[in-house]
């Protein structure tokens, strides 16, 4: 069920009305059923599968008790579900490229697989719950509360990746209806719909030229700028709709964007772009690898690993990995700059308006070029970037 369809509007309106008309004790049960209906509308067979996976994770989280091997097996199980549905095509393609030079080995025949709605967000919430249970950092609620957290339909398909403690606390503290739920929720929904349907969809018309051949440098720059606008207003628009939808039920979901295109370096960009995902990778990948507490060489490796995984999370294709590595290189260059000469300039000069504006423009255009890798396949991306800089 897509957020921008009239059917979602009818579904959301009816669900909100019935939710607040029901007795307090019945609301979470009703909201859970509504979330199952939301998923089953497009993916009926996957409801049972995801229920089984959720039950196994909920059971495993109660049995961890600092057992490393049990945690590793549980995490591997959840990741395998994501890999099977989302990355099978990529693995098959890489396998075919490896065996094409070996006579007698058949090409892998990929079965037709329907990817469950929001599988990436679904699995990352499960991993968060498992890891924090192992660390002893969260209070485990009832199975019903856990299922509502995992399947909560406003954030099921496009995030943000909400954290369990915040969700559980709100679930327990919610009382009666407040007008602020309606006003704040509707305001956020209108902003989200405007971002997506007016700005993003208009910019998409011009961004399609990134997939065309034979255009000039100016045409590709315009397309790259258009895609930069499209992807931000598309993604942040969906986040606004999700946050607004959740607010109608009394829940306040974490923010996902904070003016990322107006930050003065690529590190600040990532701290303000898809905040829930960036913080997830920081907490559960970068820090366990050693974070910034290890040698400089390891920091570089950790950064590249995290950003490659960030790219892979967005899509099962080589150009997404390249996009992630591109940003990883940018983060490494920034770290080297700060480590060597960045802090040697006078504070007044570093904080001057001129340098701030120049830094924002440089960071913005670094991001713009990176979006070319995100939007088009690898060969087309290289072609477009070379044309943009008059290299062909």
What is the DSSP code (8-state) at residue 22?
S
Largest Cα span, the chain:
69
Nearest to 140 by CA among 32, 61, 57, 66: 61
**Cβ neighbours of residue 237 under 8 Å, at least 6 residues apart?**
191, 192, 193, 194, 195, 196, 197, 199, 200
133 phi, psi to nearest 5 deg: -65, -45
Q: Which residues are known to be catalytic?
A: 314
Token pair in block for residue 185: 């929720």
Other CB atoms within 10 A of residue 327 CB: 26
Distance CA 251, CA 388 (A): 45
Token pair in block for residue 45: 């067979």
Distance CA 188, CA 182 (A): 10
Q: Counting every residue, how long is the chain?
A: 392
The secondary structure of 274-329 as a DSSP string is: SHHHHHHHIIIIITTTTTTSS-HHHHHHHHHHHHHHHHHHH-SSHHHHHHHHHHHH
Distance CA 229, CA 197 (A): 13
Q: At what angle do helices 6-21 and 24-42 cross, to 10 degrees?
A: 160
Distance CA 114, CA 111 (A): 10
* Summary count for the chain: helices (H), strands (E): 18, 0
In the three-class reduction of DSSP (H, G, I as helix; E, B as strand; rest coil), residue 154 is classed as helix
């Amino acid at each position: 069920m897509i957020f921008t369809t009239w059917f979602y509007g009818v579904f959301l309106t009816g669900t909100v009305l019935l939710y607040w008309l029901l007795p307090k004790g019945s609301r979470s049960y009703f909201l859970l059923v509504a979330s199952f209906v939301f998923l089953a509308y497009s993916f009926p067979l996957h409801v049972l599968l995801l229920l089984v996976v959720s039950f196994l994770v909920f059971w495993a989280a109660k049995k961890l008790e600092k057992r490393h091997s049990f945690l590793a097996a549980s995490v591997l199980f959840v990741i395998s579900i994501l890999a099977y549905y989302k990355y099978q095509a990529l693995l098959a393609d890489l396998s075919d490229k490896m065996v094409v030079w070996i006579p007698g080995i058949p090409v892998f025949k990929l079965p037709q697989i329907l990817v469950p709605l929001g599988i990436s967000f679904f699995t990352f919430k499960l991993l968060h719950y498992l890891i924090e249970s192992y660390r002893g950092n969260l209070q485990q609620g009832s199975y019903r509360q856990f299922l509502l957290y995992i399947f909560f339909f406003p954030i099921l398909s496009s995030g943000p990746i909400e954290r369990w403690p915040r969700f559980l606390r709100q679930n327990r503290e919610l009382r009666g209806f407040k007008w602020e739920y309606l006003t704040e929720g509707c305001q956020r929904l209108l902003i989200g719909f405007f971002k997506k349907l007016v700005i993003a969809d208009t910019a998409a018309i011009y961004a399609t030229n990134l997939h065309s051949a034979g255009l000039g440098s100016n045409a590709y720059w315009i397309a790259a700028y258009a895609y930069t606008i499209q992807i931000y207003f598309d993604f942040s628009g969906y986040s606004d709709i999700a946050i607004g939808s959740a607010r109608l039920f009394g829940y306040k979901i974490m923010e996902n964007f904070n003016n990322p295109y107006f930050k003065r370096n690529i590190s600040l960009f990532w701290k303000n772009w898809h905040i829930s995902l960036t913080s997830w990778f920081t907490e559960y990948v970068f820090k366990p690898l050693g974070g910034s507490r290890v040698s400089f060489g390891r920091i570089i490796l950790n950064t590249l690993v995290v950003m490659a995984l960030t790219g892979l999370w967005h899509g099962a294709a080589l150009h997404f990995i390249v996009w992630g590595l591109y940003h990883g290189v940018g983060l490494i260059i920034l770290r080297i700059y700060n480590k060597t000469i960045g802090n040697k300039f006078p504070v007044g000069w570093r904080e001057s308006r001129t340098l701030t504006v120049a830094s924002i423009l440089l960071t913005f255009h670094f991001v713009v070029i990176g979006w070319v890798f995100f939007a088009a396949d690898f060969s087309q991306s290289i072609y477009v970037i070379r044309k943009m800089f008059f290299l062909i």
